Amino acid sequence: MEIWQAIVLGIVEGITEFLPISSTGHLTIAEKLMDLPIDDPAVTAFTAVIQVGAIAAVLVYFAKDIGRLGAAWFKGLFSASGRENPDYRLAWYVIAGSLPICVVGILGKDVIKGPLRSLWFVAGALLVWSAVMAFAEYAATKQRHEADLTLKDTLIIGLAQCLALIPGVSRSGATITVGLLRDLDRVTATRLAFFLGVPALTAAGIYELPDALEGDKVGISALVIGTVVSFIVAYASIAWLLKFVAHHTMMLFVWYRVVLGSLIIVLLATGVVSAT
């Protein structure tokens, strides 16, 4: 992998990781356009590793919130009074909600890195999940807030996060959408999507690191540069998204997904690009 390709992929990852438009789908498209083998284990591992840069952006942006939750969780482990703190419960909710995608990701690794990397799957997932997102905006009451979160909410949203293993669905798109269907307001659903992403994407990056370093297809320099670029761009993306969802619906992203998915299908059907 050339350095310029790593920079491009870092930018794509940083922009799309937290927007509900599928970072894996966009990375797959970008890799295809740059003639990288999208089903090669080293290339797919690279996309997982540079997600750590985006997660680092979450840790920095939400440092106070994460520090508060971590302190409350640690205190609650050793203190009965600490277990009465809502932050203690929220910390456990995030941990519990993060477990499903870790288990499914490991068990389904071969399928995820193989057949699901096809652009047909990417296009189909972009279109199908767009319909779910639009329905959520229509049906959700958005009357519940962060203080109203329950373990059931985070487990259901955590299970939905597993759908993001299908390129084109979007991890944030899945978690935010199901959060809305649980009647959470957009900001709460979006913040929860960020928190749930920290354990899941960090684990994925560490798990895939050996594959990314295997052989000479990627290289340490490309990994480091892609991750750093991802961090810088993702930080700006987080700030923008939180301001956007506070005042707008998700329909802008729905229409973008529909246009992109339709365009991919046209290009595939006409033979302009191949599926893998």
CB-based contact 258:103 (threshold 8 Å): no
Residue 209, both tokens: 């690191």
DSSP sequence for 62-94: THHHHHHHHHHHHHHHH-TTGGGSHHHHHHHHH
Percent of the chain with pLDDT over 70: 93
The Cα angle at residue 56 between residues 148 and 78, in degrees rounded to 5 = 55
Asked, for residue 275, whether it belongs to a domain, the answer is: no
Instruction: Check whether 167 has a pLDDT greater than 90.
Output: no
Number of structural domains found in the chain = 1
Residue 147 counted as domain residue: yes
pLDDT tens digits for 131-150?
Answer: 999 999 999 999 999 889 99
- Evaluate if residue 214 carries a pLDDT over 80: no
At 22 the three-state DSSP class reads: coil
Cβ atoms of 22 and 30 within 8 Å: the answer is no
pLDDT mean over 231-244: 94
Does 274 reside within a domain? no
Q: Give CA–CA dist 62/33, Å, rounded.
A: 34
Q: Could you tell me which residues come within 8 angstroms of residue 189 by beta carbon, excluding any fewer than 6 positions away?
A: 175, 176, 179, 180, 182
Instruction: Tell me what pLDDT residue 115 has.
Output: 66
- Please spell the DSSP secondary structure of 154-220, one letter per residue: HHHHHHHHGGGGSTTT-HHHHHHHHHHHTTB-HHHHHHHHHHHHHHHHHHHHHHHHHHHHSTTSS-H
Average pLDDT of the chain, as a whole number: 88
Q: How far apart (Å, rounded) are the C-alpha atoms in residues 95 and 89?
A: 10
Q: What distance in Å separates the CA atoms of residue 160 and residue 180, rounded to the nearest whole number?
A: 12
Range of the domain at 167: 3-269
Residue 179 within a domain = yes
End-to-end distance of the chain based on CA atoms, in angstroms?
18
For residues 242 and 83, is the Cβ–Cβ distance under 8 A? no
| CA–CA separation, 225 and 133 (whole Å) | 33
Q: Is residue 276 a part of any domain in this protein?
A: no
**Higher pLDDT, residue 167 or 115:** 167
Higher pLDDT, 167 or 91: 91
Residue 87 has pLDDT above 80, yes or no: yes
| Out of 31-40, 178-187, 260-269, least confident range | 31-40
Contact between 205 and 55 under an 8 Å Cβ cutoff? The reply is yes
- The answer to whether position 210 is within a domain reads yes
Q: For residue 127, tell me if it sits in a domain.
A: yes
d(CA 263, CA 276): 16
Beta bridge partners of 184: 144
- How many residues in the chain? 276
Residue 115, domain member (yes or no): yes
